Structure 1
Amino acid sequence: MLLDRIYKLPIGYSEVIYENKKYGLTRADFNRGNSIKIYARELGGKNFISLNYYITNKQDLLKPCEMSDKKVIHFLKNLMILE
């Protein structure tokens, strides 16, 4: 489940590896944790990932920013958090 992957990301800034490249990732939670914003930029590169995730009474909503759901889902499922 995507939400489980999102919850594993630390709130604030962290670094992750995706497709053998390092990304600076920021996670911010709003509305008592019902809205989550994630932005990741490839360090030294041009790629980025940007999304909002909303938790409602009826359903969870993934809302990528100017990119496909597929790209965002692949990123979330395949990133590795650096400790």
Structure 2
Amino acid sequence: MPVPTPAPTPVADLVARLPRGASTVRYGGRPWAVSVTTYAGGRSLKLWAEELGGTAFVSANVYLGTSGETFRPCEMPAADVLAFLHGWEPAPEPASEPASETAPEPARRSGDGPRGPVLPAVPAAD
């Protein structure tokens, strides 16, 4: 018999806004790496986020049971996790690089190897 999936709850809704898997977002004007993993058919969510180039991080688990939601911040105040979940923004798409003009490869001559001209062997000095 299938286990009934409960209706999403407020923290689960906030976590669900994040892209699944690994991604980059912005929080507090800084880039953050975020990973959201689901387990048990979506009834367990793991959030890990860390500030890129900094020391800040956010970590929490959300369990969705038939009796409701259990929110478990990992080694930090719940307010820190909730502030992140309310305040993150999608990272802007990276600007595409203009096509760079590269110098054409020099024409190959007969006898050239893959790294340039093949020079004749020089006899060893006695």
Counterpart-to-counterpart distance in 1, 2:35 and 2:45: 10
Counterpart-to-counterpart distance in 2, 1:9 and 1:51: 13
TM-score (norm 1): 0.94
Q: Which structure is richer in relative contact order (CA contacts within 8 A, separation 6 or more)?
A: 1
Could you say which residue in structure 2 is the equivalent of 1:78?
A: 87
Alignment of 1:60 with 2:96, yes or no, is: no
**Runs ≥4 residues deviating over 6 A:** none
Structure with greater helix percent: 1
Q: Which runs of 5+ in 1 are unaligned?
A: none
- CA deviations over 1:36-81 (Å, ceiling 9, x no partner): 0010010000000000011011110110100001110011001112
Aligned pair partner of 2:45 in 33, 36, 40: 36
Instruction: Find the residue that maps to 2:14 and give its secondary structure.
Output: helix
TM-score (norm 2): 0.63
Could you say which residue in structure 1 is the equivalent of 2:109?
A: none
Could you say which residue in structure 2 is the equivalent of 1:27?
A: 36
Q: How many residues align?
A: 83
Structure 1 position 2, deviation (Å): 2.4
Structure with greater strand percent: 1
**Which of structures 1 and 2 has the bigger CA Rg?**
2
Could you say which residue in structure 1 is the equivalent of 2:56?
A: 47
* Superposition RMSD in Å: 1.0
* One-letter code aligned to 2:21: G
Counterpart-to-counterpart distance in 1, 2:49 and 2:75: 13
Could you say which residue in structure 2 is the equivalent of 1:2?
A: 11
Counterpart-to-counterpart distance in 1, 2:70 and 2:45: 10
* One-letter code aligned to 1:58: S
- CA deviations over 1:7-49 (Å, ceiling 9, x no partner): 1211111111111111000000000000000100100000000
